[in-house]
Amino acid sequence: MERSFQANGRRYRAPDRPTLAICADGWDPAYVNDALARGLMPQLSRALAGGGTYALAKAQVPTFTNPNNVAIVTGVSAARNGIAGNHYLDAEGDEVQVTDPGFLRATTIHAAAAAAGVPVLCVTAKDKLRRLLAAGSVPAFSAELAHEQSLPDGTPITEVAGRPNPSIYDWELSPYTIDLALALAERLHARLVYASLTDFVQHSAPPGDPLADAFYCAVDACLGRALDAGFVVGLVADHGMRPKSNGDGSPNVRYLDEALLAAGVQGARTLCPITDPYVAHHAALGSLAWVHLADSSERDRARGALAALSGVEGVLDRDAAAASFDLPVDRIGDLIVLADAGTVLGRSRETHDLSALHGALRSHGGLHERTVPLIVCSPLAEGAADCELHNRDLHDLLLNRLSQRSGAL
């Protein structure tokens, strides 16, 4: 094993202790603050009291799952790694899910570490991320489809976990994901482990709800097991989460294709980059959308119609959005529409199945879910967290910026 390796222009030290980086899907800081204040996370409290760090970091915009997981595992922005949504419109005009590793324009830290001889492992709750995380021959498994996966020697993954996997709409899938990652890490002797959770609970329940309480207690116990097993543990969220419904419980949504048609804009196409297979989470409704124009001469009229909608707080041209948010210009829309904190954006009434939602809509995607918790359970070197942090800095903190004292523990 080499002492260090390079990924996307940054050098990382090979871990001298087993290291677990967790992407805590949809962990708005409000959940962590509430859980800590009410004593629901004693293991995390103990780690913080022992010199750990709880800071706030910035997420990649759009604040969706795939762009932020890829930012975290590559250490670079979407402009560099190429992933700007869960879903996008390709050059042929086809809508595609961004799940194929061929979309990546940067190596992952795990692939670079593996090439340097570091045993690595990725475990994701949502199977949609598995192939992206596996890029570069990284061993990657999903809790969602654990019942279909085996180790190279034929051992079923669920046998390694010691229990069957919960369903994608079960609150226990995230704790299971961490426990599965720990069990697989032991079995495979992995030194650098990434575990990505799911935000079904955060889409379904606000901080303080009994479901959220059960979730944070269970995840805290998982953190305790990881720390007891000798892991350096760090955690960062991909995005926050906010309520997005009206007083009567219906989603507070603006349908952009309908607004464009009403304004006489022909052939425009709204694309919701939150779109993924997990419709009960969000019904493909988030607080940022791309609009692709059939005729660029209609840009001003389209921009005006969208900006006039209540609940829309910004409409940016492609180049301005790419520059403001570090996005790849060829994988976003002609116009980028940003909703305010309590509003989501859809295409048209008939393209979103609101009946799939579990309760009042909670969602993400815009600027108001950009602030996320970043936690390192071991002491950091002095000043390491004093700069503006992004969630993509997690591996730099865990591998390069622990204090010498914590490295020697």
- The region of 191-199, 201-209, 273-281, 302-310 touching Zn ion under the rule CB under 5 A is 191-199
Residues 234-263 that bind Zn ion (CB under 5 A): 238
Among 19, 53, 63, 65, binds Zn ion (CB under 5 A): 65
Among 19, 25, 98, 306, binds Zn ion (CB under 5 A): 25
- The region of 195-203, 252-260, 301-309, 355-363 touching Zn ion under the rule CB under 5 A is 195-203
How far, rounded to the nearest angstrom, does the alpha carbon of residue 2 sit from its chain's CA centroid? 30
- The region of 25-33, 54-62, 77-85, 397-405 touching Zn ion under the rule CB under 5 A is 25-33
CB 67 within 8 A of CB 85: yes
Helix (H) or strand (E) holding 160: helix 157-161
Q: Using the 8-state DSSP alphabet, how is residue 34 labeled?
A: H
Q: Could you tell me the smallest distance in angstroms from the CB atom of residue 404 to Zn ion?
A: 34
Helix (H) or strand (E) holding 375: strand 371-376
- The region of 23-31, 81-89, 257-265, 323-331 touching Zn ion under the rule CB under 5 A is 23-31
How does 356-381 read in b/e, with b if 16+ C-beta sit within 10 Å? ebeebbbbbbbbbbbbbbbbbbbbbe
Neighbours of 86 (CB within 10 A): 27
- N- to C-terminal Cα separation, the chain: 21
Residue placing its CB nearer to Zn ion in the complex, 238 or 257: 238
Q: Could you tell me the smallest distance in angstroms from the CB atom of residue 198 to Zn ion?
A: 8
Q: By CB under 5 A, how many residues form the interface with Zn ion? A: 4
CB 329 within 8 A of CB 345: no
**Binding string, residues 196-235; x marks residues near Zn ion by CB under 5 A:** ---x------------------------------------
Taking the C-alpha atoms of residue 137 and residue 133, their distance in angstroms, rounded to an integer, is: 9
Residue placing its CB nearer to Zn ion in the complex, 238 or 396: 238
Residue placing its CB nearer to Zn ion in the complex, 238 or 326: 238
For Zn ion, the binding residues (CB under 5 A) are 25, 65, 199, 238
